[in-house]
Structure 1
């Protein structure tokens, strides 16, 4: 399966969490940072498969409940 890489802003929307939480999760080893050197502003992308989906109203897309905190990725533990 190929990765679906998305920007930090889209990752924040998908999870229902602020962008600072996405960055913190990545720093803690819960998400993998992927770098795109072509992007000028922020070349960091996140894999959609690693991001917990928030619960949203199907009609209005209003946030009902943010996605849960992901577990620490095993490869991050091995690198420590």
Structure 2
């Protein structure tokens, strides 16, 4: 069974080295699973690799690339 580590959009942004707006866009594009809605929305850190950071300064060496768009369930209608 895959593990889940739920985090806020801000936490996911730090994890990936991307802006929060990118996390929201990835979620709206179907690249990330969203658990909850609004301010209660959470994202699974285990769905993406962490950004590569410098071991001493924690500055971003390379941000996480965009995850692939997931296929939608046949029971979910596209907007």
TM-score normalised by the shorter chain: which range applies? Answer: 0.7 to 0.9
What TM-score, normalized to structure 1? 0.82
Q: Counterparts of 1:27 and 1:52 in 2: how far apart (Å)?
A: 19
Alpha-carbon deviation of 1:77?
6.0
Q: Counterparts of 1:73 and 1:59 in 2: how far apart (Å)?
A: 35
In structure 2, list runs of 5 or more residues that go unmatched. none
8 A contact 1:6–1:47 mirrored in 2: yes
8 A contact 1:11–1:51 mirrored in 2: no
2:63 paired residue among 62, 66, 69:
66
Residue 50 of structure 1: aligned partner: 47
In structure 1, list runs of 5 or more residues that go unmatched. none
| 1:6-51 CA distance string (max 9 Å, x none) | 1111100000000000000000000011017xxxx71110001112
- 4+ residue stretches of structure 1 with deviation over 4 A? none
Q: Counterparts of 2:34 and 2:62 in 1: how far apart (Å)?
A: 24
Tell me the number of residue pairs that the alignment of Structure 1 and Structure 2 aligns: 75
